[in-house]
């Protein structure tokens, strides 16, 4: 069995364990958090505009929308990362927003190139990866039992001048790793800080 197949098998197993843990947590809590994404969903489109923001500061970040890192892409499309939180369940949830400052709709062409399994799933942030440079390891977005990414989908793309929230869930690096590089195909990378829940 090749390294790629083993990686797929491990990611699938992690997704199943995480989905079961999330289902148990949601059942036990019986509550609903409006700000937290539904990690078990295979698509999380967000048509709401987020007008929040501020200067990018690599040493900070918050659930409220304050930027911890900004990745400026081609065609006026930028990624603003607001949090990267390590959960006790063994995964990291990265949240932020995608800003289309151009005068044309953006279809996320090439964003799924980081993972061939997502190429035919539609527009998403599925190609994002986290790179632990010290541990020399790359982490791909988790997926559910139907092989859909545990991340935001963008059916129809993102309209001109629009902003949409996103989330993406990854296996957690070791607890000693507090900084990773967020990489998106077709864009530059940015260093983000992982915080504990």
Please give the Cα distance from 40 to 154 (Å, whole number).
Answer: 17
Instruction: For 117-135, write each residue's pLDDT tens digit.
Output: 655 666 778 888 999 999 9
Residue 4 has pLDDT above 60, yes or no: no
Residue 177 has pLDDT above 70, yes or no: yes
Please say whether the structural domain 3-196 has been given the CATH code 3.40.30.10.
no
pLDDT value, residue 11: 57
Domain edges within the chain = 3-196
Confidence of residue 56 (pLDDT cuts 50, 70, 90): very low
Please give the Cα distance from 91 to 55 (Å, whole number).
Answer: 28
Mean pLDDT of 63-85: 86
Please give the Cα distance from 113 to 119 (Å, whole number).
Answer: 7
Q: What is the pTM of this model?
A: 0.65
Confidence of residue 26 (pLDDT cuts 50, 70, 90): very low
Percent of the chain with pLDDT over 90: 38
Residue with the larger pLDDT of the pair 3 and 161: 161
pLDDT value, residue 164: 92
As given in the structure block, the two tokens for residue 149 are 């990414």
Give how far Cα 40 sits from Cα of 107, 149, 171, Å: 24, 10, 15
């Amino acid at each position: 069995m090749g390294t790629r197949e083993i990686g797929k098998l491990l990611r699938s197993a992690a997704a199943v364990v995480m989905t079961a843990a999330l289902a148990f947590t949601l059942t036990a809590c019986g509550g609903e958090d409006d700000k937290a994404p539904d990690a078990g969903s295979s698509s999380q489109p967000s048509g709401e505009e987020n007008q929040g923001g501020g200067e990018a500061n690599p040493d900070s970040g918050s659930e409220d929308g304050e930027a911890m890192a900004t990745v400026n892409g081609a065609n006026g499309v930028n990624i603003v990362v607001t949090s990267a939180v390590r959960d006790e369940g063994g995964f990291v949830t990265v949240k932020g927003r995608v800003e289309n400052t151009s005068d044309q709709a953006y279809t996320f062409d090439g964003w799924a190139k980081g993972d061939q399994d997502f190429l035919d799933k539609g527009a998403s942030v599925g190609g994002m990866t986290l790179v632990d440079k010290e541990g020399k390891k790359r982490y791909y977005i988790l997926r559910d039992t139907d092989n859909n990414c545990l991340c935001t989908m963008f059916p129809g793309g993102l309209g001109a001048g629009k902003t949409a929230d996103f989330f993406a869930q990854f296996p957690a690096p070791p607890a000693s790793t507090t900084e990773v590089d967020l990489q998106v195909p077709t864009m530059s990378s940015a260093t983000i800080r992982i915080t504990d829940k």
